[in-house]
Amino acid sequence: MNSIAGASTSHETPQSPVSPRRVLITGASGALGGVICRRLAAPGTELLLWGRDAARLALVAGDCRAAGAEVVVRAIDLADGPAALAALAQDDAAAPISDALLVAGQGDAVPAGLNIEPAAQVARLAQVNFAAPAALAAALADAMAARGRGRILLVGSAAAFHALPHAPAYAASKAGLARFAAALRLAVAPLGVQITLVSPGFIDWAAGGRPVPRALLLPLDVAARRILAAFEAGAGHAIIPRRFALLWLLDRLLPGPARAAILRRIRP
């Protein structure tokens, strides 16, 4: 994984800061994705909004249209990998996608009362948080490389950098995504395609109800703004907020038994 110091940016494929033209956003029906969509919505921009919940997608779509964007909505379940790739091929064939922000993800932890995560949940998180965004990014990068330009954002998590006993599949799926992003970035930078990974810590949103100290929470709007800023700046990898990069460093430096004792105390 690159950018071990965290919160860092690499400018391997600087591209002109043109407004996105045809932008795919997965997770558009979610808290973070919805704010990102609304921030991107402007005249001259076409937004392809993907999510599962048709009602929430329609709300976001309405706001984006009111801001002057053209909007196409697609209700889709990323648990079906082949269907997601077919949908992507269809959307890109209709008109080339210039930017993709792959935000969708699930944050399930070990359910209350269990010591070990159910196998079905492990498989689901591996698919939705890793396999689907990685496959979509590969397909997009291929199409964009053929055009000589394009930008892809992957939303990971600071959880990727810690072996969390209360959320093994979440941490691992995001770790896999981080490694994939770093490798794909190296492969496609010379072809004019930008890959940005943003690894947020805890994001605060009303329904999220995070049982963590306020000092560790990043307001939703701030998270969206900083994610888009990293994307626009052509960052390779950004950890937000910065203190989560320090936690990553601490995790790496601590002796194994001390690290294990701390990680076992963390609750979802």
Ligand X SMILES: NC(=O)c1ccc[n+]([C@@H]2O[C@H](COP(=O)([O-])OP(=O)(O)OC[C@H]3O[C@@H](n4cnc5c(N)ncnc54)[C@H](OP(=O)(O)O)[C@@H]3O)[C@@H](O)[C@H]2O)c1
Site residues, ligand X (CB under 6 A): 27, 29-33, 51-53, 56, 77-79, 103-107, 128, 155, 157, 200, 202-203, 208
Q: Return the number of the residue (72 or 189) whose C-beta is nearest ligand X.
A: 72
Q: How far is the CB of 76 from ligand X (least distance, A)?
A: 6
Q: Return the number of the residue (77 or 232) whose C-beta is nearest ligand X.
A: 77
Q: How far is the CB of 29 from ligand X (least distance, A)?
A: 3
Q: Return the number of the residue (103 or 181) whose C-beta is nearest ligand X.
A: 103
Q: Which of 184, 190, 181 lies closest to 148 in space, CA to CA?
A: 190
For the beta sheet containing 193-200, the strands, ordered from the edge strand earlier in sequence to the opposite edge, are 70-75, 46-51, 22-26, 99-102, 150-155, 193-200, 237-240
Q: Which of 84, 179, 186, 183 lies closest to 140 in space, CA to CA?
A: 84
The count of other CB atoms within 10 Å of the CB of residue 122 is: 17
* DSSP conformation class of 18: P
Q: Return the number of the residue (13 or 156) whose C-beta is nearest ligand X.
A: 156
Q: Return the number of the residue (87 or 193) whose C-beta is nearest ligand X.
A: 87
Q: How far is the CB of 243 from ligand X (least distance, A)?
A: 14
* DSSP conformation class of 131: I
Q: How far is the CB of 217 from ligand X (least distance, A)?
A: 8
Q: How far is the CB of 192 from ligand X (least distance, A)?
A: 26
Spatial distance between the Cα atoms of 69 and 63, rounded to a whole number of angstroms: 9
